[in-house]
Structure 1
Amino acid sequence: MNNSIKPKGIVVFSGGSAANNLVDVFKTVRENKRCPLSYVIPISDNGGSSSELIRVFGGPGIGDVRSRLVRLIPDDPDHDDSEKAAIKIFFNHRLPKDKELAKQEWLQIVEANHALWGNISTAKKELIRSFLNLINFEILKRLRPSSTFNFSSASIGNLFLTGARLFSGSFESAIYLLSSICSVPSHTLVLPAISTNHTHHISAGLQNLITITGQNSISHPSVPSPLEPNPSEHEETEMHDRIEDANLPGSLPTLRKQYIAFSKEGEEDLPARIERIWYINPYGQEIRPPANPRVIDALDSAQAVIYSIGSLYTSIVPSVILKGVGEALARASIRYKILILNSTNDRETGPSSSPLTALDFIAAIAKAAASSRGPGFVREVEKREYKAYVTHLIHLQGQGTPRVDKEELAELGVECIRVYGRRVGDEPFLRYDEKALTQALEVTIGRRDVRLERNRRNTLEG
């Protein structure tokens, strides 16, 4: 008789680029715990080349999902696997910024005349190319005098995922296909926060009552766009209505623009702190979408939840506010709810004159989780409730890091762990040291459940 206990998993809430730097840390913790690992990724990003795919095809923002899947391609130091390296380069490749050069290179790739195909086997090449041909056909089919697809800076991986989604009619199926091609291990899942074929946008309400619509406008400098249109905005709406694309007539102009080119450098402060994040329909009305059922399943079988580094209000909160997530997080069965604090404040966690503290980060997560539980929970969350959603804080200490008041957090039931940080080159901020962060997580969560070893040993002896 097999009495083995299935190990409970680890769930990581994160966005794309920032948390990609910690993938090896989470991989090591998972290996030592011998348990499943799930990444929950938001799909509300409407910036960069994803904005053009959303404009023409609709559908979720897929850039962060693609980025995580490709980052999870396993590295085997004992074997020279040139194909895996080539696939990683291929799906991360971006076309040139120049519109005409980008289109020329795209055709080279579709026609299999590009050097990127060099170390990819024929079977995988033709499988990948079939979906690129499909998306190319769909682009041509949607060509209109008022709307031409712009290949500038387009991600090949994003184009592939979109082609696979259109072919299968399922975003989850497209993720499964890319996971298989990238050889992502079955014990590690990349879960979109919402399982959908539709576009989902977010809005931010600031403490000065200004509303900013669309993730790109929240994350990067832009003019706040109120939901109540004035006459000039009516004119802008009518102008966009003359463009035939995937956007519904009359939808908010700020959700219909191309945001292919933007800079993350020199970001301006928001005029006030962010008070709340919520989802909206194309006309700006608030909606409450449910979380991906697989996310809830992962939380129901989790021993630990980790809120990773990244953008607090556009990478973490959009997943936490979804219907069902707050209730799942509050369950006592999840023993460890760990926030890895950012090493610096950004545009979302400013303004620079009054940056968020560690307590403010925790309060934002608690408020988001409480609001996901329904309208009755949308209120000022009491401090004593924070530990239902965050039990541990891992942080750095140094110039520019958010302030951490250990005594105050300890009174709230939140344990603080300070770890070693390092600077890379001339960067003005600290980075987490991978070994130190791994040790901190293992000290918090533990290495592995000894009951599993005991049951496994008893089974062998029996």
Structure 2
Amino acid sequence: MQLGPSSALTPNVPMNGIKPKGLVVFSGGSAANNLVDVFNTVSEHKKCPLSYVIPISDNGGSSSELIRVFGGPGIGDVRSRLVRLIPDDPDHDDSEKTAIKAFFNHRLPKGRSEARQEWLQIVEADHTLWEHISSAKKELIRSFLNLINLEIVKRLRPSSTFDFSSASIGNLFLTGARLFSGSFESAIYLLSSICSVPPHISVLPAVNTNFSHHISAGLANGTTIMGQNAISHPSAPTALQNQSYAAHEETEAYDRIEDANFPGSLPTLRKQYITFSKAEEEDLPARIERIWYINPYGQEIRVAANPKVVHALSECHCIIYSIGSLYTSIIPSIILKGVGEAIAAPSIRHKILILNSTNDRETGPSSSPFSATDFVAAIAKAGAASRGITGSVQPMEYRAYVTHLIHLQGPGTPRVDREELTALGIETIRVYGRRVDGESFQRYDEKALIQALGVTMGKRDPRADRNRRNTVDN
């Protein structure tokens, strides 16, 4: 497969007066960041716009402290994708872009006092992170950091002080911009502009909101888990008050803390989860059967998707479900109102699932790990839930949501029953992987994945009219 230089590619530029259909990628943060170059390259080769749909339900890490004090969505995955999209030019040494990437990815120390001290150095422009950032950009960035610092001081109470431990500078900046403008969308636009994200690439929060949105998981044994962090990372909360209370006593104790939460709201949605480990995961007691959104009191609600997400889906020719946490990174975006119907549209000919290279806490337990068909079924069930369809989804309906599956093969990878998937009308493509020293799992080889996606997106639907011209393959 011949890959041309990116400088010759002009996504978003109509050819023969016809606007090119777009590419939509559903993903979370860290795992999918490893494939950003793959998706960008495919977008450039197909000369089409690229949209990333990112969930906003994460309530763990330093985001939990921002949510506790300021409310608002979980912004960590949005920030990490915007910073990851800072373009690299191998032919030119752009020290400012490198410095901006390091700045917005920087995390403060784990120690509370050390973190606060370094934060003050950054706010006062007395930190090495500011080197190589131009004066104009530095003062623009610093103005929003000063604003969030002022808001932190204003919200200080005897019962509640802000904990800077492990805080992300990019998350603090994005929160400051949101508070200043009153618009999450405007804050994303500002950070996207500073990071020089290419104009044909959009980072779309699944829900465009200034409020917190949380999810719950229902397990096969009837257990309900509330809050994304509790679903994916079962760590002990670093709460302001971490004694053992009965449910009502615990709620009353948290009501005495002055923060951005509603009185009487669930303590599990209000605690700090600054410290957790993604490496040390316990099995869930049973499989996850369903994910849904909840209000601050734990009641199920139906949430509408960001209209820009629905529009991007209506204007795309291909959907990709990226690698990452199935139930906390991918499905929270699919179950939103308007998304399932848009995905199921027959006009979208390629709906590609890139299968994880290994099962995790969400796709276990280890005694009953998910197969590739289980991944597909979960996505189809989420799409149906978005449309208000409850209960099981018939296997022959899976193809409305997934048409192709790309996977690795080897020890530890989810089982792929090619005959079963073929019978359901889902094509499987195996690609080569690579191993990194110290890791027990395979990673996708970028060149192999680019080729697999390019070939798949260029294929015609074998059930389509054979005389119809293939408008996808460029």
Q: Same fold (TM over 0.5)?
A: yes
| Cα distance change on mapping 1:421 and 1:46 into 2, 3 Å | same
| Cα distance change on mapping 1:427 and 1:444 into 2, 3 Å | same
Post-superposition offset of 1:12: 0.2
1: CA distance, partners of 2:16 / 2:74:
43
Output one character per residue of 1:146-171: Cα deviation in whole Å (capped at 9) or x when no partner: 00000000000000000000000000
2:71 to 58, 63, 71: 58
Matched, 1:420 2:468: no
What is the match of residue 12 of structure 2?
none
Output one character per residue of 1:26-80: Cα deviation in whole Å (capped at 9) or x when no partner: 0110010010000000000000000000000000000000000000000011111
Secondary structure of 1:178's aligned partner: helix
2: CA distance, partners of 1:428 / 1:152:
30
Contact 2:318–2:351 (8 Å) recurs in 1: yes
Matched, 1:298 2:297: no
1:429 to 415, 438, 441: 441
What is the match of residue 465 of structure 2?
none
Post-superposition offset of 1:446: 2.2
What is the match of residue 107 of structure 2?
94
Secondary structure of 2:87's aligned partner: coil
Output one character per residue of 1:391-414: Cα deviation in whole Å (capped at 9) or x when no partner: 000000000000000000000000
1:202-351, aligned counterparts within 5 Å?
Answer: 202-221=215-234, 232-351=246-365
The amino acid that maps onto 1:110 is V
TM-score normalized with structure 1 length: 0.94
What is the match of residue 142 of structure 1?
155
RMSD: 1.8
2: CA distance, partners of 1:194 / 1:414:
29
2: CA distance, partners of 1:452 / 1:345:
33
Secondary structure of 1:61's aligned partner: coil
The amino acid that maps onto 1:341 is L
Residue segments in structure 1 that go unaligned for 5+ positions in a row: 225-229, 455-462
1: CA distance, partners of 2:470 / 2:138:
45
Secondary structure of 1:239's aligned partner: helix
1:395 to 380, 387, 407: 407
The amino acid that maps onto 1:308 is S
TM-score normalized with structure 2 length: 0.92
Matched, 1:20 2:33: yes
Residue segments in structure 2 that go unaligned for 5+ positions in a row: 1-14, 238-243, 461-468
Secondary structure of 2:246's aligned partner: helix
Contact 1:5–1:452 (8 Å) recurs in 2: no
Identity of aligned residues (%): 78
- State the number of aligned residues: 446
Contact 1:29–1:447 (8 Å) recurs in 2: no
The amino acid that maps onto 2:264 is G
Contact 2:434–2:442 (8 Å) recurs in 1: yes
Post-superposition offset of 1:450: 8.1
Secondary structure of 1:209's aligned partner: coil
1: CA distance, partners of 2:116 / 2:58:
24
1:347-362, aligned counterparts within 5 Å?
Answer: 347-362=361-376
2: CA distance, partners of 1:433 / 1:453:
23
The amino acid that maps onto 2:304 is P
Output one character per residue of 1:103-144: Cα deviation in whole Å (capped at 9) or x when no partner: 000000000000000000000000000000000000001000
| Cα distance change on mapping 1:299 and 1:43 into 2, 3 Å | same
What is the match of residue 9 of structure 1?
22
Q: Which has the higher contact order (CA 8 A, sep 6+)?
A: 1
Residues 54-63 or 426-435, more deviating:
426-435
Contact 1:339–1:393 (8 Å) recurs in 2: yes
Output one character per residue of 1:334-368: Cα deviation in whole Å (capped at 9) or x when no partner: 10000000000000000001000000000000000
1:52-201, aligned counterparts within 5 Å?
Answer: 52-201=65-214
